[in-house]
Structure 1
Amino acid sequence: MSTKVTHRWRSASATLLLAVALLTGCGLPTAGRPANGPVAAGPSPDGNLAPVTTDGPTEVAAVVPSSLPVVPVSYPASGGNRWVTASAETAPARTGRGTLMRYRVAVERDIRGLPVKDIATEVTATLNDPRGWTAAGAWRLRRVGADDPTDFTIYLATPGTRDTLCQDVPEGYTSCRNGGRVVLNVARWVKGVPGYGADLTTYREYMVNHEVGHKLGFGHERCPRRGRPAPVMQQQTLGLHGCTANAWPYPQGKVRYSGPVGAYDDEIPRREGAYSEG
């Protein structure tokens, strides 16, 4: 075969391969990247395109929707002390010899974007967790409805209503337990606390377990040693004091994780907006 024919064959082959690549979209570099490099697969939280690595050859990138619409959460500084109560949980009643404690979940009507059903589901998942207060078999915890007999009520309240229900120092920042009232401050539920060192889900689990722990008879505890997990009965909202965040009373099984009894001298309630980690 002559050199001229060879060149024509190579040119025709290259043209054919380019046409196939253009039609299929496979194997071509994207925005200057090599053909097998990462491609954009949707927006990241900062609004830029997030790279996604692949194990094999890269194909045409699919555009992934960033997220579903988010309902904004809003609440006044002080609500009207009116409530929506969740229905009873539908799971079969748990058997055992532990003391049965029945509780309701109620959300203040002025809080928008946090449906009572969702709050009740999250609270119940925390209290039913095998690392929670039922781990050792001393208690059984069950969510009941508005008209059922109950031992305590878990309220998600605005900061001002928190002060009304807690009847302690009116600081509008922390959560509390007052008799049969377990009061979760919606500002903490939504914002967490600065410098906590764990995600918001962990902080919410801590809120629930800490205040329910008071209802079950436990007082405040201290960090046992720097670098160790904080006991759930430590006032983690007001500082970890060298410990790390921990939401569970039984993180390793049936032996309760605890620390020295007592609170720190600097754990003084602060008002919303004036609190900072020390």
Structure 2
Amino acid sequence: MRITYPAHGHQEWAVAPAGETVGDEGRLLRYRVAVERDIDGVGAGAFAEMVSETLGDARGWTAGGKFRFRRVGPGQRADFTVYLATPDTRDKLCAEGTDGYTSCRNGGNVVLNVARWVKGVPRYGAGSLATYRQYMVNHEVGHKLGNGHQLCPGPGRAAPVMQQQTLGLHGCRPNPWPYPDGHRLYAGRSGTYDDPLPHRDTGTR
């Protein structure tokens, strides 16, 4: 089904029901999943299942044995919330100026911009939209887990999941996973590139 959305949403949310715990050991983090009601074509339940599958993947953040994740439902206590938000609501939740393009993590807000969820990014190499969506989840949750931005470790290498792959790969290959072979990927140096920010999204309707 085609996903449509306006640039400006009303910050009203559909919250997904509770789900299973993923991961076998480590600190338990409870998370909520919410989809802005202005977004059509993806329900909170379907979006939450994709988030849960990504967090529970053997290549994801549970692989290090430090974290487990449990999806909670409406009204239940959560350590963070994963939002699928319109571009303008993204700016409000991120509280870092008018961006409208990227996603972010701000305190307990893990904010995924629906414009990137639908359109992906240009120049993402051989990475598919599904791969990019997994990257979005793992990158922003990675910030919640205390990880900062990292640089490409070298041409042709897999990009660290904490590299800002949305803005540029800088010779690396797309990679959405922190533990792509069950082991932590070489992380590269800490830092960011001076990549220009593309124009903000104006919505699809």
1:100 aligned counterpart, secondary structure: strand
Which of 74, 90, 94 in structure 2 is aligned with 1:162?
A: 90
| Conserved 8 A contact 1:83-1:106 | yes
* 1:210 match: 139
* 2:173 match: 244
CA distance in 1 between partners of 2:152 and 2:139 (Å):
14
2:61 aligned counterpart, secondary structure: coil
CA-based RMSD of the aligned residues comes to 1.5
Deviation, structure 1 residue 225: 0.4
CA distance in 2 between partners of 1:79 and 1:95 (Å):
34
* 1:196 match: 124
* 1:14 match: none
Q: Number of matched residues?
A: 201
How high is the TM-score relative to the length of structure 2? Answer: 0.94
Deviation, structure 1 residue 94: 5.0
Which of 43, 48, 52 in structure 2 is aligned with 1:120?
A: 48
Considering Cα pairs closer than 8 Å and 6+ residues apart, tell me whether 1 or 2 has the greater RCO.
2
Deviations 1:66-111 (A, max 9, x none): xxxxx3321111100110000011x4x4574400011011000000
1:184 aligned counterpart, secondary structure: strand
Indicate the percent of aligned positions where both proteins have the same amino acid. Answer: 60
Where structure 2 has 5 or more consecutive residues not aligned to the other structure, the ranges are none
CA distance in 1 between partners of 2:186 and 2:59 (Å):
10
Corresponding letter in the other structure for 2:195: E
Which of 2, 14, 17 in structure 2 is aligned with 1:87?
A: 17
Deviation, structure 1 residue 188: 0.1
CA 1:121–1:236 in 2, change beyond 3 Å: closer, same or farther? same
* 2:35 match: 107
CA 1:172–1:94 in 2, change beyond 3 Å: closer, same or farther? closer
* 1:48 match: none
| Conserved 8 A contact 1:221-1:263 | yes
CA 1:255–1:171 in 2, change beyond 3 Å: closer, same or farther? closer
Deviations 1:148-181 (A, max 9, x none): 1110000000000000000013110000000000
Please say if 1:77 is aligned against 2:13: no
| Conserved 8 A contact 1:102-1:150 | yes
| Conserved 8 A contact 1:155-1:184 | yes
Runs (4+) of structure 1 moved beyond 2 Å?
Answer: 93-97, 254-257, 267-274
* 2:154 match: 225
How high is the TM-score relative to the length of structure 1? Answer: 0.70
CA 1:94–1:158 in 2, change beyond 3 Å: closer, same or farther? closer
CA 1:242–1:271 in 2, change beyond 3 Å: closer, same or farther? same
Deviation, structure 1 residue 254: 3.1
Q: How does 1:1-278 map to 2 (within 5 A)?
A: 71-89=1-19, 91=20, 93-94=21-22, 96-197=24-125, 198-264=127-193, 266-272=194-200
1:174 aligned counterpart, secondary structure: coil
CA distance in 1 between partners of 2:201 and 2:92 (Å):
19
1:236 aligned counterpart, secondary structure: coil
